[in-house]
Structure 1
Amino acid sequence: MAGRLIVISNRIPLGGPPSGGLVVALHECLEQIGGVWIGAADETVETPAATFTEHKEASYQKLTFDLTKEDYRTYYLGYANAVLWPLCHRRGDLIDLQQDYRDGYYRVNERLAQMLADIVTPDDRIWVQDYHFFPLAHALRKLGVRAAIGFFLHIPFPTRTDLEALSDQREFLDWIAAFDLVGVQTKGDVASCLEVFRAMGDGELQLDGAMRHGARRFHVQSFPIGINPEGFAQSAGEEDGREILNLRPNEKLLIGIDRLDYSKGLPNRMRAVGQYLDMRQPEDPRATFLQIAPPTREGLAAYEDIRNELEQISGAENGKHSDLDWTPIRYIHQMVPRHRLAPILRAADVGLVTPMADGMNLVAKEFVAAQDGRDPGVLVLSRFAGAAEQLEGALIVNPFDIMEMADAIRTALVMSLEERSERHEQLARSVFTETIDHWTETYLNAFDRVIPISMPLSA
């Protein structure tokens, strides 16, 4: 197909080799087919430029747009992460609706749309990534851009109940309908999207699977994102994770690796470990729980609250259960180099992935890829992680039920090798088949097929 692929994301890799599954996949995709990758500049400016800045460090174009300090406060910390993030993660109680947040979010998206309209041709394909740019296609359509515009939401799609918290619900529907293909993580997200349009708007599901909303028709489809399992498995074998952590020969390891975020269910997870320790019998194995939770979005009060809560829980549980030669909970609130995470995951007997809400959760898939198939660990997985649709071989738990999670921890620690192997084989089939490259390929193939239904906004 003629035209370029133009990828839009909040950040792009600059100044070195890309890292992280999604970033590497998009980089390799653009390396193969050419195109443009656009994202916000790393540093804020006093006055944003009206044109993109080009970075000549790849075989494809890398362009950045400017943000001011006010943009960063209102568009990024404000509307994107103090309104849309809690909205999509079922935390309406944490939504902070402020007019300047909304104004800043619109301002950045409309400015970006104007800059894009100046460089886009009708044959180009624009692929927008994530909740930072919900209004972008609508803003482009208002400027007369007729190029195909796709979207992928990496976090959960908001439900009808979630959207009741927004004052601009109709506008949200218009934003989504302005895309040609809306990609989401799970079948559950597809159902949420369709229900929102049927219940809150004039949505009509048509025979070809498209949703009609006003003058627009668009498709919504699930594309579960994956990882590079072969590469991660290779990294897992390059160091001995037990030596890194200085574990005793018979000591079991429970592992949790998450950004410090209220959506990840970290306090309840830590309480469940404490509950397991409370009910642990003398014959049960001695297990250490390592929770790695690097800081994120430290300017928001909700993140300060969860940090304090985790410090209090871990301190209380260690005070109750520690011995002279054993500290049962190790809590690390700092970044750990990525090359060390894979060996640590391989060393773990139990992986705890228990978010309250999560679009996919790639740590669950990384845990599976890292395991030694001859003696694999057990994945304990929240039913509210998108990965639960695919990873049926995990022990599926309700992250709101402390006792259920504690029971799952004990079950995982005493599980027979035969059952662990059977479960791991089932998990690995999914992880090693539905990879990050598979995600990119399937989305772009579907994007090609829906281009003919693209329609402008009504006058």
Structure 2
Amino acid sequence: MKQLIVVSNRVPSPDKDSGSQGGLAVGVMNALSRTQGLWMGWNGQLIDDAEQHTPQSYENEGVQFATFPLTEQEHELFYVGYSNEVLWPLFHYRSDMVEYSREKDAGYQHVNERFARQVAGQIPENGDVSIWVHDYQLLSTGHYLRQMGIECPIGFFLHIPVPPWEVFRILPHHERMIEHLCAHDTIGFQTATDLRHFLDNVERSGVASVEGNTVIYDHRRINTGVFPISIDVDTAREMAEKGEQSSRSKRLKDSLQGGPLIIGVDRLDYSKGLYKRFQAFEQLLENTHTRYGNVTYLQIAPLSRTGVERYASLRRELERIAGHVNGRFSTYDWMPLRYLNTGYDRETLMGFMRQSRVGLVTPLRDGMNLVAKEYVAAQDPEDPGVLLLSNLAGAAEELDGAMLCNPFDVEEMADMLDAALSMSLEERKERWQRLHKVISTNDIHRWGESFITALDQSAAARHADKQ
């Protein structure tokens, strides 16, 4: 079996228990453990001269890791600048937030080339290896690997949405981005919508041609497909069962005084729709007097990208509206909206989800959203909660059984919250069974295996074409 090299912007810390890692880590670790694989990426350190540092190697659970630092300037231009001030907002349909500059663009290309050099240095002499590159920070890494003469199979998986042509074309040098993606043998997307947008962008850019789901560029055939990422269902369920018995979960349950809990768990980001959620919860309290003094909404939103002003501004705005809602409705023994910027371990979060009546997952745009799937896995089959899910999340294309809402329609969300809180046990169980069937059939292990299989098949077809 070929060795697998996985490349991502960040890698799991060796100091963290792998059981606390999210979906990507679980899926990648499973694939790597079967191939004596190597995971490469940035180690989170910022230094003065990163070029002088060789990758730091370590082993965890039979998987080799090789990490390296960035300079502060590289981090500012590549990660903060181009990745999160250009690509992230654009790919989430927020063209009004794109802040492009040539300096950021050059910094992004420079770091992608450096990632490629680091990976090339780890390829064995016999070249018997496959490379799997992940996400929007590394769209150009495969291109630079090809420029260095690397001919082994290279796959790419995009975790975030793909915008349609009229949005994508806003990106300066978008033709170059498509050319760079055409260096891969297989490109994977979360949903059929993302795949359709990508193929349309390729055709309309004039960079390459499309035959079915195959892109043809410079005599290369690039296969594309849909590979919706998922979770480890059994591990998530076990975490939820243990977490429900924790002291934190018991304290939370006691504080609810028998009332139902609505829960949201999201990284603090403007794409998650938290402001609209808070407004919808306020509308619920305004519309339904039976909810007054009874229901509690817990929103856990750990801080992210604290160096980006838009995120600091979002935090201030959410604090303002949370204070407004609580100031308007709270009583001496009831605070309806609990807004926390504290992060918790996954076992605690899963325990919180298990005891909640409604899982509120309403991003304005999302590639997949694994919290939706974790919420389903966390539920008690005999008394499950209801998943209220944005129809603009990638997960909405999979999760038959969720209540789907328009995250821009505050009044609709309020009405659906009320309906979810009032839903009969029979309907809740029927919906949960449909949801659980989906996540059990397509779990994180199948995701990794199906992508690697597709990459192997693409590489075999390319080799046959050369004969």
Name the TM-score class by shorter chain.
over 0.9
Change (3 A) 1:77 1:454: farther
Cα distance in structure 1, aligned partners of 2:250 and 2:412: 28
* Superposed displacement of residue 51, structure 1: 6.4
Cα distance in structure 2, aligned partners of 1:14 and 1:286: 41
Choose from 154, 157, 181 the match for 2:159: 154
* Superposed displacement of residue 245, structure 1: 4.6
Cα distance in structure 2, aligned partners of 1:296 and 1:284: 32
- Runs of at least 5 residues in structure 1 that lack an aligned partner in the other structure: none
Choose from 375, 379, 390 the match for 2:387: 379
Matched, 1:86 2:85: no
* Superposed displacement of residue 61, structure 1: 2.5
Structure 1 partner of 2:410: 402
* More displaced stretch, 46-55 vs 142-151: 46-55
Pairing of 1:130-209 with structure 2 (within 5 A): 130-206=135-211, 209=213
Cα distance in structure 1, aligned partners of 2:265 and 2:257: 23
Pairing of 1:182-261 with structure 2 (within 5 A): 182-206=187-211, 209-238=213-242, 239-240=244-245, 241=249, 243-261=251-269
Structure 1 partner of 2:4: 5
Note the alpha carbon deviations across 1:216-247, whole angstroms, 9 max, x for none: 32011110111111111111112343533533
Cα distance in structure 2, aligned partners of 1:131 and 1:448: 22
Matched, 1:57 2:62: no
Note the alpha carbon deviations across 1:228-268, whole angstroms, 9 max, x for none: 11111111112343533533443010000000000000000
Please say if residues 242 and 347 of structure 1, whose CA atoms lie closer than 8 Å, have aligned partners that are also in contact.
Answer: no
Cα distance in structure 1, aligned partners of 2:54 and 2:368: 32
Please say if residues 182 and 219 of structure 1, whose CA atoms lie closer than 8 Å, have aligned partners that are also in contact.
Answer: yes
- Runs of at least 5 residues in structure 2 that lack an aligned partner in the other structure: none
Note the alpha carbon deviations across 1:137-190, whole angstroms, 9 max, x for none: 111112221111000111112321222221111101101111110011011111
Choose from 89, 96, 100 the match for 1:97: 100
* Superposed displacement of residue 278, structure 1: 0.6
Please say if residues 242 and 344 of structure 1, whose CA atoms lie closer than 8 Å, have aligned partners that are also in contact.
Answer: no
* Superposed displacement of residue 193, structure 1: 0.7
Task: Name the aligned partner's letter for residue 47 of structure 2.
Answer: V
Please say if residues 260 and 295 of structure 1, whose CA atoms lie closer than 8 Å, have aligned partners that are also in contact.
Answer: yes
Task: Name the aligned partner's letter for residue 212 of structure 1.
Answer: I
* Superposed displacement of residue 90, structure 1: 0.8
Choose from 324, 345, 357 the match for 2:365: 357
* Superposed displacement of residue 285, structure 1: 8.2
Cα distance in structure 2, aligned partners of 1:229 and 1:449: 28
Cα distance in structure 1, aligned partners of 2:348 and 2:64: 32
* Superposed displacement of residue 203, structure 1: 3.4
Please say if residues 325 and 337 of structure 2, whose CA atoms lie closer than 8 Å, have aligned partners that are also in contact.
Answer: yes
Cα distance in structure 1, aligned partners of 2:292 and 2:427: 18
* More displaced stretch, 277-286 vs 214-223: 277-286
Please say if residues 380 and 397 of structure 1, whose CA atoms lie closer than 8 Å, have aligned partners that are also in contact.
Answer: yes
**What secondary structure sits across from 1:161 in the alignment?**
helix
* Superposed displacement of residue 360, structure 1: 0.5
Please say if residues 23 and 370 of structure 2, whose CA atoms lie closer than 8 Å, have aligned partners that are also in contact.
Answer: no
TM-score by length of 1: 0.95
Cα distance in structure 2, aligned partners of 1:100 and 1:415: 54
* Superposed displacement of residue 288, structure 1: 0.4
Task: Name the aligned partner's letter for residue 12 of structure 1.
Answer: V
Q: CA RMSD in A?
A: 1.7
Task: Name the aligned partner's letter for residue 341 of structure 1.
Answer: L
Pairing of 1:299-314 with structure 2 (within 5 A): 299-314=307-322
Structure 1 partner of 2:109: 106
Pairing of 1:231-380 with structure 2 (within 5 A): 231-238=235-242, 239-240=244-245, 241=249, 243-282=251-290, 286-380=294-388
Task: Name the aligned partner's letter for residue 91 of structure 2.
Answer: C
Cα distance in structure 1, aligned partners of 2:157 and 2:291: 49
**What secondary structure sits across from 1:57 in the alignment?**
strand
Cα distance in structure 1, aligned partners of 2:25 and 2:325: 38
* Superposed displacement of residue 114, structure 1: 2.6
Please say if residues 375 and 387 of structure 2, whose CA atoms lie closer than 8 Å, have aligned partners that are also in contact.
Answer: yes
Choose from 24, 27, 33 the match for 2:26: 24
* Superposed displacement of residue 53, structure 1: 1.8
Task: Name the aligned partner's letter for residue 31 of structure 2.
Answer: C
**What secondary structure sits across from 2:447 in the alignment?**
helix
Cα distance in structure 2, aligned partners of 1:50 and 1:130: 26
Please say if residues 56 and 68 of structure 2, whose CA atoms lie closer than 8 Å, have aligned partners that are also in contact.
Answer: no
Cα distance in structure 2, aligned partners of 1:404 and 1:279: 12
Structure 1 partner of 2:49: 47
Please say if residues 202 and 214 of structure 1, whose CA atoms lie closer than 8 Å, have aligned partners that are also in contact.
Answer: no
Cα distance in structure 1, aligned partners of 2:348 and 2:121: 44
Please say if residues 361 and 386 of structure 1, whose CA atoms lie closer than 8 Å, have aligned partners that are also in contact.
Answer: yes
Percentage identity across aligned positions? Answer: 40
Structure 1 partner of 2:78: 75
Task: Name the aligned partner's letter for residue 380 of structure 2.
Answer: D
Note the alpha carbon deviations across 1:25-73, whole angstroms, 9 max, x for none: 3223222221211111221121123664242323333111231011111
Please say if residues 293 and 336 of structure 2, whose CA atoms lie closer than 8 Å, have aligned partners that are also in contact.
Answer: no
Cα distance in structure 2, aligned partners of 1:189 and 1:376: 31
TM-score by length of 2: 0.93
Task: Name the aligned partner's letter for residue 150 of structure 1.
Answer: G
* More displaced stretch, 140-149 vs 365-374: 140-149
